[in-house]
Amino acid sequence: MVRNRFGANAVTFHPILNALTKKKKMEEAWRVVDLMREIQIPIDLTGYNYLLTAYCHAGDLTSAAELLTKMEEEEGLRADTRTYDALVLGACRTGKVEGALAMLRRMEEDGAPLLYASHAHVIGAMLSVGYYEQAVEFVMSYGGRDEGLDEQSFGLLASRLINLKRFDEARFVVQEMKRRGIKMGDKLKEFYYSHVTV
């Protein structure tokens, strides 16, 4: 495509960068970026997001921060929803719950749409470090803004609390789900009828 000028552009390289970064082959991914530069195709925000997500998934926040600086300062690219989601993931993977919450606040301030995945990362991180009450408060604080987010966040939190045998918190969450009319899966309904309505 490049040799015959068949319209190769940054998007042409997305599947390659995506595949390499998912397999954590960062050296090869950067070689692709170098090749793009050689043939005068600048990497775009999506390409950078693939790299950033891979670093954040691995918990390599140093490389992620350097890449973010390069994106913003050298390339003039502005963070989008996927960029923020990667940073939330990275903070959560390294146990930096406060950093993840700060990233969510920055997303909102910048007007970036919130992803359900970002909330799932935060809920998982809070529960993994034993912040059970804070996880409930976090989910409650976003309650009522988005029906899909409510269903996903409340359901995920209740299920995880049940698995962790945190039944008092789980009872509270499913009661809230019932009160707010949030759909429950079969397992949560079963928990509700066996632990709340008895």
What pLDDT sits at residue 154? 97
What pLDDT sits at residue 114? 80
Listed in sequence order, the DSSP H helices in the chain are: 14-22, 26-38, 45-57, 61-69, 81-93, 97-109, 116-128, 132-142, 147-163, 167-180, 186-195
Q: Mean pLDDT in the chain?
A: 93
Q: pLDDT for 182-192, tens place per residue?
A: 999 999 999 99
Locate 149 and state its tokens. 């987010």
DSSP code, position 197: -
Q: How far apart are alpha carbons 50 and 1 in whole angstroms?
A: 22
Q: How far apart are alpha carbons 15 and 47 in whole angstroms?
A: 9
What pLDDT sits at residue 72? 87
pLDDT of 3 strictly over 80 = no
What pLDDT sits at residue 110? 87
What pLDDT sits at residue 43? 92
Decide which of 107 and 132 is more confident: 132
Locate 71 and state its tokens. 């994106």
Q: pLDDT for 128-184, tens place per residue?
A: 999 999 999 999 999 999 999 999 999 999 999 999 999 999 999 999 999 999 999
Mean pLDDT of 68-89: 91
pLDDT of 198 strictly over 70 = no
First-to-last C-alpha distance (Å) of the chain: 67
Q: Where are the domains of the chain?
A: 1-103, 130-198
